[in-house]
Structure formats: C-alpha cells, structure tokens
Structure 1
Amino acid sequence: MRVSQLAQATALAVVLLFANTATIGHANAAEAESMIPQEALDSVAALREQALASDLGYRITESLTTEVGPRLAGSEADARAVAWAIARFKALGYDKVWTEPVTFPKWERRSERARVVGANAQPLAVTALGGSPAGTVEAEVVRFADLAALEAAPAGSLAGRIAFIDYRMERARDGSGYGPGSRVRSRGPSAAIHAGAAAFVMRSAGTDSHRNPHTGITRFDEGLTPIPSAALSVPDADQLSRLLALGPVRMQLALDCGWDGEYTSQNVIGQIDGSERPDEVVLIGGHLDSWDLGTGAVDDAAGVGITMAAGALIGKLPQRPARSIRVVAFANEEQGLHGGKAYAEAHAVDVGKHVIAAESDFGAGRIYGYSSSAPEYAAEADRRIAEALAPLGIEHLPGKGGPGPDIGPIAAKGAAWGWLAQDGTDYFDLHHTPDDTFDKIDPQALAQNVAAYAVFAYLAASVENDRASGFGSAPTSEDGTAIGK
C-alpha cells in the first residue's frame, strides 16, 4: 500500500531528477537545469482528460482481484498472479515484458482460532501474524496499554502467560497513525518473549470497528525462540479489555501456520519504449502480492491497475516521450519488500538510468499532494509537473513525502523518487483484512490516480537539458517499516 515511514522523512539530495547520464559531478549539476519541452506541456492536458475518462485502471484491478483473488507470497496464487501480469502487460501493448526472480522464505497460514475459557467462555476473532509459528497456548492474559509498557516488563514476569497489547491506532489522511500500530506488530512478539510470555496477541493495527482482524508480517529478534503471535479484531480487543476489567481472563490461542522452505517468485516488468532515449526509464509500479484474508484490492491490486493503465495510455500516444516508461509489479512486498530489494540489487549498476521512480501502494483514495526528491537544479521541471497535476486537485507539497515501500531500496542507492500522496483516511479500515475486496474501489477516484500517474510519468520522461547528475542517499526510518505494510 503505497506512503511509508520513509515518506515521513524529508529527502536529502539524490540522483538528479530526469538525469541523462550516470556521471557524478555536483559542481556540474549545479550549473545544469532540467526543463520540460513546451510540446510536452501542451499535450499533457489531453492525456490527463483521456485518463480521467478511462476505466482501464478499474478494469485491470477488477481482473486481478477476480481472476486471481488473494495472492499470498509463495502460494499457488502467487504463480497465477505472475502469469496474469505477464499476459496483461502483453495485452495492453507494452513493447517489452519480462520477469526477474525474487527468492524468499515461504510462510503458510492453515488455521487459527482463539477463545476465552472459563466462566465467560466465548470465541474471539483472531488472525495469525505473518511469520508466527504454529502452537496452542492456554494461559492467563496480561494486558499492556502500549508497546513501551510491554518492553518495560521485567524478564520472566510473564512466564507461562499471554501478553496482550491494547494499543488503539489513530486515523489520519496521511497514514501517520500506522507507524506506532505497525511497531506493535513488528516488535511486540519479541518484547513478549523477553518477558517470558508463551504467546502474544494485539489489538489489530487498524481503524475500523468491524469484526475483521488485520494480519501483517512480524519479526523475532535473533536468538529468540518464536511464540504464537496473533491480532484480534478491534471489537474483540475491546471485549477482551472489558473482560480483563472484571478480573483474570484465560485465553486459548491455537495457530497452525509457519515457515516452509523457500520460494522463487518474479518481479513482472512491462516497458513502453521511449522515442529517443529508451535505455533511460521512469519507473512506476505497485506490488503484485497480497495477504490472504481478502482479495488484496486496495493493497495493492489498485496500485498495479493504476500504474499498468498509466503506462498503457502513454504507450498509445501519437508521440511518445523521449524516455521509457517502466512499470513493475513487485513480488512479495508484504513480507519484507523482497521484490523491491531484488529489483534494486539487479539494477544497481544502472541506477543512473532511472530518471525517477514512484510507487502506488496506499490504496485507491484520491491523490491530494505531490512532491519529489528533485534537487534545486531540477526545481523548474518539478514545478511544471506540479502545475500539470493541479487540475486534478493535487497540491504541490515540496519537502514532504518520500519513496513508496518497494521504491525505498533503489532510492537508497541514489534514485530520485516521486510521491503522489493518496488520501488514506479509510485505508486502515480495510488494510490486511477480509474486507479488502474489489467492491471498496471507487472508479472515479481510481481514474484520478491513473491520470496523475500518467501525467507524472509522461512529463518526467520528457525532460531535457539535463547534462549532469549528482548522487546522495535517501533517508530511512528507524526500523524500515513501511506504512501500509
């Protein structure tokens, strides 16, 4: 999905936006000025209106969620999603379509259940966290208000018990409430182990009030023996908290899940060749995998549909931009940005050929803001892109944002990034739940996204007068956790 904790940090100077060489030379870069030719600026309005009127992105999203459905990394559906993406790129008329391997550990979910036992016996809606081991634990529950409280628990103080973090995530348009919520998921299990707990449960990292638990990847500190770890739906976390206020509560948690060897999936790549400099690319994309509870519509079939459609519309123009438009459907983002990391490593030697990169992975809400890591000598070109996005209701927000999750690894190697900020007010109502289904997609909002990505990619690929480049590093967050992941 899309905005990340990377995106909360202000970017440092990175590779020249719209570079045409891979030379390192900050002095020359200061003298160079990237511009967008007037011909491209004159034609972009028609592209924008065509994209707004098109339902192509919506139909691609419908196809992926309907024909493949949930796409857990390493599952049988993962392979079907790869085949779907190859066929879809070809059907859309992309000039080149290829795959690049991505190998990762394979995690499987088989069954999960939880219940309160004793005088107030009742079932609880629960889902295993990705990376959790299997196991059945019946024990007393100990509640903690937040991650810090559990981390402060003395070693051994939870021996034989179940740790429960009852942290309530805050709703925000930019998704900023997800950082603390996702840290509960990623760090809570290890904190529970350090305190001696036999199992870990948490209030889901979500903003809904439905009985739909939110899954997501967790990790265990090196040297620790993992324990069963799960998330309760928001109403069930409320119920458990009320029961605990009445007195001690025993819970039974039974998970059948775990790691099962390695799997090799694929990044699927489609390219619309540029008319003058086809070896230089503007990279856009989304991630092909999803969690298995819903059909992965807002996370991230929408992102795949948006960027596939944007590239296809540019490919149909009478006059293509100078540089190529490369669309990547990244493999296994959900369990550790594996596709983004693999792409960055595979293309480390040609980072300088990547003009700019942007990822759609924060749902299907309307885009409200734009920024990039363009250095000062590309400020005029960046301003022109912002002006072309303004009729879509998109505000220029220089100094804000950052690379999307799968773009983060190549940005860390020096690639420039663009940030097209989606409205995520309701995103975490659906994120990683059974409710992430195609009916939640607003066709008009999705078309606005397609228009924004088409305008952004077309103009970025049209820039000229860029005679040198400068390199830097994009900042990373403390734990690398990506919003929407």
Structure 2
Amino acid sequence: MKTATTLRAALVATALSTAVPALATPVDGSGVAWDIVEGLTTEIGPRPAGSTAEDRARDWSAAKLTALGFRNVRVEEFKTLAWQRGPERASLTAPYAQPLAITALGFSVPTPKGGLKAELVYFPTLAALEAAPEGSLAGKVAFIDHAMRAAQDGSGYGPYGNVRREGPTIASRKGAAGVVIRSAGTDGHRNPHTGVTTFAKDVKPIPAGAVSNPDADLIARTAARGKPMAIDLTLMGKPFPDATSGNVIADLPGRDPSLPIIVLACHLDSWDLGTGAVDDASGCAIVSAAALAAQAGGQTLRTIRVLWSGNEEMALSGGGGEHYAKLHGAEPHAIAMESDFGADRVWQVNFSHAPENKALADKVNAVLWPMGVVPHKGRAEGGADVEAIIAAQKLAVIDLGQDGTHYFDLHHTPDDTLDKVDPAALQQNVDVWTAVLKVIANEAGPIGKFEAAQ
C-alpha cells in the first residue's frame, strides 16, 4: 500500500513531467545561480531537515531544475532522525543579572518547562572539562569556552567545532544537568550559532545551547572575578524520530552515456535561524548553473548529475549522502565534487586522483591559473553529501576552495540571508566550476579509481 508521502511524490513527478515541458536544450548558466539563491530563500526560506519547509523545498527544486532543462529530475525521499526548535532563553542570575543571547544546539533535549536554574561552572577549554572529576558537575550547568579564529581555508572549524560536537557528551558524563558553549563562529555580533551536537549511546542527553561570542566574553570576564555564577536556562527544542527528508537529483545527459558520470553536490536543507542563503542555497546554485554553462556550446561527453541533498545539517544517521550511495552505488561514477562553503570567491583547488590521471589534473590547473585559482596541498575530501559515494567507489575528487575568511561570521546564524551573497563572487564560482567541468566532463580517457580514498 502506498503511503501519503509516496502518493504525493508521485503526483509531483507527474505534474512536473506534464506541466513543465522538457526544453530542447538546457538554458545558459549565466545568471541562473542568483535566480536559484534568490528564489529558494524568498519562496521557501529556512529549510530544517524533516520540516514541512524542507518538503516544499524539494518540490520547488524539482520544478526549478526541470524548467532549467535538466533531465530525469526525481525526488528520492528517506526516513531520518530530525530535531525541532522550541522556545529558548537564558540569563545569568549570579553574581550579576545579565540576559544572554542563546540558541539550542540540534539534538538538545528540553529543560524543565519552568527552566533549569543551576550553578554555572566555567571551563576555559574542552580539555579542562575532560579533566574535571567524575560527578563533579552533578546538578550544575557546564560552560565551555573556546576562541575560534578566522582562516581563509576555514581550518579552525574542525578543532573548535569539537566543543559543540563532543562537549555535551563529556559534560553529561561528568554529571552536568545542562551545557552551554561559546558559539563556533568568528563574528562579534550578538547572534548565537546553532549546529548539531551528538550524545554517545552510553550517556544521558542533556539540554545544550550556544551563546553569542559577546555573551561568552561576558561569562569569561565574570568567571575571572572568582565569584560563584548561576544561570536560568530554558531550551525546549527536542528530537523527533521517523522524519522525512529527501534528495533532488537531475541529469544533463552526455554524448556518451556509457562513460562514468560526474556528480556535483550541495545540500538543500538549512538551519532555521536564517534563510540558508550562504549555507547552502549558494552551493546548489553554483553547481547547477555551472553544469548548465558547461553544456552551453553543446553536450559534454560525460553526463553531469546534480545532487541537492536532504538532511546534511542534522544527519546523525540516514543523511542524503548515504541515501544517494545506497540507491546509486551501482551506477558508474568518475568524479565527485561538492559546494558547501558559502559564496565567496574560489581561490584554491585540491585533488584526489589516481596516478594515471595527473595529466587531467594538469589540464584543470591550466584553466584555473588564469582565473587566480591555485593548487593547494592536501587531499581533496569532497564533503558530507558525496563522502559515501566517494568511499563506495573510490572516486576521484576535486575541491574548489572558497575564501572562508568571513564564512563563520554567518554560519548557522540569523545572518545567513540573501543580502550576504555577493552576486559577482557567486558568478565567479560559477565561472570557475564551469571551466573545470568543461575539462573533466569532456575527458574521453579513463578516470581511475583513487585507491587511497576511504
């Protein structure tokens, strides 16, 4: 028996195939990227995984890709674990009364309805929390400080993001009733940064939130005075299982359908505080516009596929990348690429490729040098939306690295909105991606497997 979701997806697919006729040729990619970012953020807005907004976004995306001339447009839904935000507020109650700008972290559990009123214990680093005696935080709220710094390649997000990802589990193991962290961000605005956290299977989930950087500074200054601190914390967000997310997939068929395809990925979902313009409507716009522009002079030799992935942000299990690999792992792929680092200018390129494909990488570098994009040391990783298919097929990977100096000013905040996207920088991304696609999607020779891939 078909579910209501299955029936709705079938009706949408039918409507797309009849109401929007297939174009004889794809439209030119010029200006398409801005149209996608503007349309998705204006007509849909925030798209949390598992929400009705993400559901509407899939329909919007399928219609948009069909109208642009992509073929075989389909929505592939899947069940996943998701999370829903509730009312949230916090204030420092001792030794000084101060309101705090706070947001819950994804997969936080709720505080009591009347709030959690407790002693607040300051830890300058994650390592300091790890060193705390077992049981020493019973009934208390831990505050974990850190200081993420801006970097062009965004490299600070790994270590400082661990405070968000691992801190709540460690705090719970020490007996904490709740945990608050300094936001994993580089801005000085009074905007807290959300993001997903995880709880190990052997610990009790606890309420978990992040305060803005100015409020974290306030707590650090207060802690330095040596007086006992207390907090009144209300976070009512909660997980919900068996949510529905889904991927939107579309192809631009190549002249030789027997050749392994090129897959370009982004993620369709977003956090709820902003409208997901930078993270990651821009990525979907870039890969789709570049795929079209690469075929503006005629079909490429290889098929180019775009994957607008569902539930990248909260995918503790069953995210869009895993679902794609599950359904399409038997189809031959050659190269995977992903855009999920905002919309600032591309400045570097990384590769992971078989030794026999060095000449292909040299061709890519040759077209990028005049555009100011330089080779960067280190292995290309792809991203969450392609890592499963990369691992399954040991694919070659090309990473086009954007300037991330200001990315973590906006990341997972209310400031992730359309006005933060520079149309000129967005088009530079499209131009760079197009140049690369014209090389790799027209490569007639074999593209070897990268045996060192995970």
Question: When the two structures are superposed, what TM-score results if normalisation uses the length of structure 1?
Answer: 0.84
Q: For 1:363-392, what per-residue CA distance to the aligned partner results, in whole angstroms no more than 9, with x for missing partners?
A: 111111112212221111111011112222
Q: Deviations over 1:176-223 (max 9, x none)?
A: 111111100011011101111110000000000000000000011112
Q: Which residue of the partner structure matches residue 217 of structure 2?
A: 238
| Identical aligned residues as a percent | 46
Matches of residues 451-462 of structure 1 in structure 2 within 5 Å?
451-462=431-442
Q: Is the 8 A contact 1:285 1:308 kept in 2?
A: no
1:178 aligns with 2:157: yes
Hey, what's the Cα distance between the residues in 2 that align with 1:111 and 1:407?
34
Aligned partners of 1:244 and 1:204: how far apart in 2?
17
Give how far 1:118 is off.
Answer: 4.3
The letter of the residue matching 2:211 is L
Listed as ranges, the matches of 1:275-294 within 5 Å are 275-277=255-257, 280-294=260-274
In the alignment, the residues of structure 1 paired with residue 449 and residue 214 of structure 2 have an alpha-carbon distance, to the nearest angstrom, of 51
2:201 paired with 1:222: yes
Q: Which residue of 1 aligns with 2:101?
A: 125
Q: Note the C-alpha offset of 1:409.
A: 1.5
Q: Is the 8 A contact 1:407 1:417 kept in 2?
A: no
Q: Which residue of 1 aligns with 2:13?
A: none
TM-score (norm 2): 0.89
Comparing 88-97 with 424-433, which one deviates more in the overlay? 88-97
Do the aligned residues in 1 keep the contact of 2:168 with 2:206 (CA within 8 Å)?
Answer: yes
Q: Is the 8 A contact 2:83 2:238 kept in 1?
A: yes
Structure with larger RCO (C-alpha < 8 A, sep 6+): 1
**2:137 maps to amino acid:** L
CA contact (8 A) 1:355 1:461 kept: no
Distance in structure 1 (CA, Å) of the matches to 2:301 and 2:350? 22
Q: Is the 8 A contact 2:190 2:212 kept in 1?
A: yes
Q: Does 1:116 align with 2:92?
A: yes
Deviation at 1:279, TM superposition (A): 5.9
Contact 1:265–1:331 (CA<8 Å) still a contact in 2?
yes
Partner of 2:400: 420
Q: Which amino acid aligns with 2:420?
A: K
Is 1:340 matched up with 2:316? no
Q: Shift in Å at residue 399 of structure 1? A: 3.9
CA contact (8 A) 2:396 2:450 kept: no
Which segments of 5 or more consecutive residues in structure 2 lack a partner in the other structure? 1-27
Could you tell me how far 1:257 is from its partner in structure 2?
1.0
Is 1:206–2:188 an aligned residue pair?
A: no
Counterpart CA distance in 1 for 2:48 and 2:155 is: 26
Distance 2:87 2:50 in 1: 17
Distance 1:278 1:367 in 2: 32
2:68 is equivalent to residue 92 of structure 1: yes
* Ranges in structure 1 where 5+ consecutive residues have no aligned partner: 1-49, 476-485
Conserved? CA contact 1:355–1:460, under 8 Å: no
Q: Secondary structure at the match of 1:323?
A: coil
Q: What letter is aligned with 2:256?
A: E
User: Quick one: distance in 2 between partners of 1:318 and 1:204?
Assistant: 46
Q: Distance in 2 between matches of 1:429 and 1:465?
A: 43
Within the candidate set 265, 269, 292, 2:245 is matched to 265
> Is 1:369 the counterpart of 2:345 in the alignment?
no
How far apart are the structure 1 equivalents of 2:298 and 2:285?
23
Q: How far is the alpha carbon of 1:104 from its aligned partner? A: 0.6
Work out whether 1:153 is the aligned partner of 2:132: yes
Q: Distance in 2 between matches of 1:220 and 1:470?
A: 35
SS, match of residue 282 in structure 1: strand
Secondary structure of 2:233's match?
strand
Matched length: 420
CA RMSD of aligned residues (A): 1.6
8 Å contact 1:68–1:80 — kept in the other structure?
A: yes
Residue of structure 1 in register with 2:59 after alignment:
83
Residue 173 of structure 1 aligns to a residue whose secondary structure is coil
Given the alignment, which residue of 415, 419, 428 partners 1:448? 428
Corresponding residue for residue 430 of structure 1? 410
| In 2: Cα distance, 1:148 partner to 1:105 partner | 30
**2: CA distance, partners of 1:111 / 1:415:** 44
